[in-house]
Structure 1
């Protein structure tokens, strides 16, 4: 049997029970369960605002768009971001005609505060921090830099569902934190996300933008009395970005188990750590920041022969991944080549090992054995 990088687990019967309520009620769209999920998410995280979306990519776009609108940024203004991320992080900046300025990464594969400060110019307006694999890296140093230079901070928390620092969910320091519930994330649904704005006004704007700019959603209109339910206005040119009650129903169930699931992920990571402990000459696990209780969405190692190792593992029915290719290698971001040497070097050497709830102790030992055998 093959060992995949990801293999999401769903509490099937519970999810179907929640979905059945939507079908019986005849309400599968915006409202009802999306509202319930938002409230449960706020209770779980401690965020004051939360809006359920059809993807984290939509959330990142909205974060950039609304901060640009509210702060009167101009086309061509700059946002500092990382080249080690999924492209949606940086696409969200381009969507709004802003320029991505790449800063290098540190040993955690997160933004290096020293290089971030070095890259700040008079046109810099914000920083996007990616908590890669669920790690916080030097996030709080980035928070301090943003305060020092009066920059907005967006947290791409796509991997960070359940991540805590000293017992607290991370992200309340940012103007916006965006979480992913995509199919293989730690809280998997079909695909969806959550955006949590610090300011209520931004949350209100976000809700209109996610429903085509309409200033009264369909669920709110069902409570209207009289004959004017259909009467609404358009405040913005918006998008179809909101989540629906079917997917929210899955999220409501999955949220109940996310801390238990993450604890098992950390157990898997500890098994890998133990197996590689005596092989530090050729296998270097990417460290987790001290005090960080990581969601452990990823377990990443650095090796000398990454591509060869990938091929050998595939031959043994083990299918790892790479998170991520240096974004400056893509044509549209090639202007950043050479500006982030650490990121470029590591992107040629990193490998994400299988990390999911279906893995057993024996699975981890088998993967570890083959990595040790073929790593150079």
Structure 2
């Protein structure tokens, strides 16, 4: 989850850890989740698949105090595009020492707060209609992720994540790639801003 709202209500005697998803490279309310995990003595696993390059005050969220494990995944459409693989970073030095190299220095970011923008989403009242309108202009947005409970294998949990369910009905991923020109960006902005959103 990437929100603190309602997370505490899901914690019970069987809970051992919380998984926080840095969706689209955003950190959301990670600080609140860290506080919640500390309060309940839970481990915090950061799903940082989209967060390669995300920084807050120049610091990668995966290295924050309170994040026990940061997990990255790599494949063709991830921020770090390579063969299907992954990386796990542990806060505990006895685990991290296996991968550490003191001869490698990370280059500092020029700004205090940065998002990797692995994806760029907006939420609109009529998502499907806007997708159709964009397609008329050969602009192809998408819907990358839906509420898991929309899938048959997770239908038993329907209603447990109302915010995720609501936002998944409205969210659209706009084109974002190295080949977009300023003119392309202006056209996308114009279509999105001019499209009727009062439905």
* Residue 13 of structure 2, aligned match among 111, 119, 122: 122
The CA deviation string for residues 36-81 of structure 1, in whole angstroms up to 9 with x for no partner, is xxxxxxxxxxxxxxxxxxxxxxxxxxxxxxxxxxxxxxxxxxxxxx
Distance 2:151 2:36 in 1: 28
Aligned to 1:142: 33
Aligned to 1:183: 76
* Residue 131 of structure 1, aligned match among 22, 43, 47: 22
Q: Indicate whether 1:199 and 2:20 are aligned.
A: no
Extract unaligned runs of 5+ from structure 2: 100-105
The CA deviation string for residues 247-289 of structure 1, in whole angstroms up to 9 with x for no partner, is xxxxxxxxx99x79xx9xxxxxxxxxxxxxxxxxxxxxxxxxx
1:359 CA displacement: 1.3
Q: Indicate whether 1:170 and 2:61 are aligned.
A: yes
Distance 1:375 1:321 in 2: 19
Q: Indicate whether 1:305 and 2:198 are aligned.
A: no
1:201 CA displacement: 4.5
TM-score of the pair, normalised by structure 2: 0.85
The CA deviation string for residues 137-194 of structure 1, in whole angstroms up to 9 with x for no partner, is 0001101111111101100001100101111111123221012332122222233322
1:350 CA displacement: 0.6
Aligned to 1:158: 49
Distance 2:134 2:193 in 1: 11
Please say which structure displays the higher CA radius of gyration.
Answer: 1
1:340 CA displacement: 1.8
Q: Indicate whether 1:348 and 2:162 are aligned.
A: no
TM-score of the pair, normalised by structure 1: 0.46
Which contiguous aligned blocks of 4+ residues in structure 1 show a shift greater than 3 angstroms?
200-204
CA contact (8 A) 1:135 1:292 kept: no
Q: 1:167 to 1:203 in 2, by over 3 A?
A: closer
3-state SS of 2:6 partner: helix
Give the number of aligned pairs.
Answer: 188
Q: 1:375 to 1:301 in 2, by over 3 A?
A: farther
3-state SS of 1:159 partner: coil
1:315 CA displacement: 2.4
1:203 CA displacement: 5.6
1:336 CA displacement: 1.7
Distance 1:359 1:125 in 2: 44
1:200 CA displacement: 4.4
* Residue 362 of structure 1, aligned match among 178, 183, 189: 183
